[in-house]
């Protein structure tokens, strides 16, 4: 059987596509594992418009593009469950939206869907740096891992309303 140059290139292209797709699946799996562990740090950058938080989220990953996407999930997760500590530039500490420390486990099916790829969390977050990571916001912390800081804007007012409407948290007017 005679193998032509054209056939050889076709076979090579198919093999490269398979390898690329496999690498992307591995990166996605690693990102999902990192998200399941919620490994991140969150800090206030400055006060945003009314009802928004401008935060820097430090995510851990071996790939910059994965860390950037995870930063969105981490920012929303931090505002719901951790709150935002006080920072420079007039930032005041913000308590978490969740009053119960067990809320994530109690409402696990809701939050699993909420934080899934393409989930509702995306409605409340925007990257403020258009995906660009400043040189000082990328640190190598191991042989293959980086700590990457991404500035994210989160619409806290809409997020609160979503969680209230879904019955996940109580409204501010519902009393203590």
Instruction: Please tell me the predicted confidence (pLDDT) of residue 13.
Output: 73
Query: Do the domain assignments include residue 60?
Result: yes
Domain count, the chain: 1
Global pTM? 0.77
Query: Do the domain assignments include residue 78?
Result: yes
Query: Do the domain assignments include residue 149?
Result: yes
pLDDT digits (tens, 9 = 90+) for 98-147: 988 899 999 999 999 999 988 999 999 987 766 677 777 888 887 888 88
Instruction: Please tell me the predicted confidence (pLDDT) of residue 123.
Output: 94
- Write out the DSSP string of 49-77: STTEEEEEEEEEESSHHHHHHHHHHHHHH
Give the start-end residues of each E strand in the chain.
Answer: 40-47, 52-61, 125-127, 138-140, 146-155
pLDDT digits (tens, 9 = 90+) for 60-84: 887 777 877 888 999 999 999 999 9
Q: Which residue segment(s) compose the domain that 152 sits in? A: 38-171
Query: Do the domain assignments include residue 20?
Result: no
59 within 8 A of 67, measured Cβ to Cβ: yes
Query: Do the domain assignments include residue 106?
Result: yes
Query: Do the domain assignments include residue 21?
Result: no
Query: Do the domain assignments include residue 6?
Result: no
Query: Do the domain assignments include residue 16?
Result: no
């Amino acid at each position: 059987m005679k193998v032509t140059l054209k056939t050889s290139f076709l076979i090579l292209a198919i093999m490269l596509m398979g390898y690329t797709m496999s690498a992307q699946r591995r990166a996605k799996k690693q990102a999902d594992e990192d998200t399941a562990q919620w490994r991140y740090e969150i800090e206030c950058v400055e006060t945003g418009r009314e009802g928004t938080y401008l935060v820097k989220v430090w995510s851990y990953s071996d790939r910059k593009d994965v860390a950037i996407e995870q930063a969105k999930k981490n920012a929303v997760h931090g505002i719901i469950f951790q709150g935002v500590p006080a920072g420079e530039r007039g930032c005041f500490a913000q308590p978490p939206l969740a009053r119960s420390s067990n809320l994530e486990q109690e409402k696990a099916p809701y939050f699993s869907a909420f934080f899934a790829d393409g989930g509702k969390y995306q409605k409340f977050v925007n990257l403020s740096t258009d995906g660009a990571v400043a040189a000082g916001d990328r640190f190598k912390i191991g042989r293959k891992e980086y700590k990457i800081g991404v500035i994210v804007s989160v619409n806290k007012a809409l997020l609160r309303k979503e969680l209230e409407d879904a019955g996940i948290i109580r409204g501010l007017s519902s009393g203590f």
